[in-house]
């Protein structure tokens, strides 16, 4: 938990957002995050974010599923309880394919979704500060981290010059916490 001060700029068009993000990154102010109502292609590049490795995790979960299925069925049919099905070989690999495939997909999907939630720090009961209620509707929000030594008027003027339709200074929790969305937080009431 860390309460911090933010300078917030809201843009109403992604075409204004891109040059603004560029200016903000060159300005030297510390960029906290950018919030958009839908995925804006190219924004991760403009922000200098690395490509995510989530698909690599998915691959690892997938092969875990593959080997679990093949290993488990092989162990059962060859060693734990070998049964003779019409004289067919105990290790009948082609007949293992359907279940092996299903478990590969199941492990990969479940593992990836859990990893996705973990990396994004989201789960039921998690609460995060929303800088503008319309950031999930039609506004593109850029939040800069500032402190008590920052000249607020200067930051706000700078943000307005980048084409922001709305600006504000907010004191807010910068991380996630457990909370109810219908309740106001202590720092919001202060």
Footprint of other proteins on this chain (CB under 8 A)? 14-15, 18, 33-40, 43-44, 47, 49, 51-52, 54-55, 58, 62, 72-73, 76-77, 80-81, 83, 85, 88, 92, 95-96, 98-99, 101-103, 105-106, 108-110, 112-113, 116-117, 119-130, 133-138, 176, 180-182
Q: How far is the CB of 188 from other proteins (least distance, A)?
A: 14
By beta-carbon proximity to other proteins, the closer residue of 138 and 188 is 138
The per-residue DSSP string of 107-157 comes to HHHHHHHHHHHHHHT--TTEE---S-GGGGTT-EEEEEEE-TTS-HHHHHH
Q: How far is the CB of 29 from other proteins (least distance, A)?
A: 17
Q: How far is the CB of 54 from other proteins (least distance, A)?
A: 5
Q: How far is the CB of 154 from other proteins (least distance, A)?
A: 25
By beta-carbon proximity to other proteins, the closer residue of 90 and 154 is 90
Contact 24, 144 (CB under 8 A): yes
Contact 174, 4 (CB under 8 A): yes
By beta-carbon proximity to other proteins, the closer residue of 72 and 170 is 72
Q: Which two tokens stand for residue 187?
A: 């720092």
By beta-carbon proximity to other proteins, the closer residue of 56 and 153 is 56
Contact 74, 82 (CB under 8 A): no
Sign of CA dihedral 118, 116, 61, 68: positive
Q: How far is the CB of 156 from other proteins (least distance, A)?
A: 22
Q: CA 162, CA 3: separation in Å to the nearest integer?
A: 26
């Amino acid at each position: 938990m860390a309460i911090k001060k933010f300078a917030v700029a809201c843009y109403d068009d992604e075409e204004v957002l891109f040059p603004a993000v560029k200016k903000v990154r060159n300005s030297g102010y510390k960029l906290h995050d950018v919030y958009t109502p839908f995925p804006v292609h190219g924004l991760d590049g403009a922000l200098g974010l690395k490509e995510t490795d989530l698909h690599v995790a998915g691959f690892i979960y997938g092969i875990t599923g593959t080997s679990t299925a093949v290993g488990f069925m092989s162990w059962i049919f060859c060693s734990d309880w070998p049964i003779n099905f019409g004289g067919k070989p105990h290790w009948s690999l082609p007949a293992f394919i359907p279940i092996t495939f299903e478990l590969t997909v199941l492990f990969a999907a479940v593992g990836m979704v859990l990893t996705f939630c973990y990396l994004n720090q989201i789960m039921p009961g998690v609460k995060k500060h929303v800088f503008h209620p319309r950031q999930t509707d039609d506004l593109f929000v850029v939040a800069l981290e500032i402190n008590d030594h920052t000249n607020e008027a200067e930051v706000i003027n700078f943000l307005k010059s980048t084409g922001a339709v709305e600006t504000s200074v907010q004191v807010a929790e910068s991380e996630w916490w457990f909370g109810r969305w219908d309740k106001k937080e202590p720092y919001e009431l202060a």
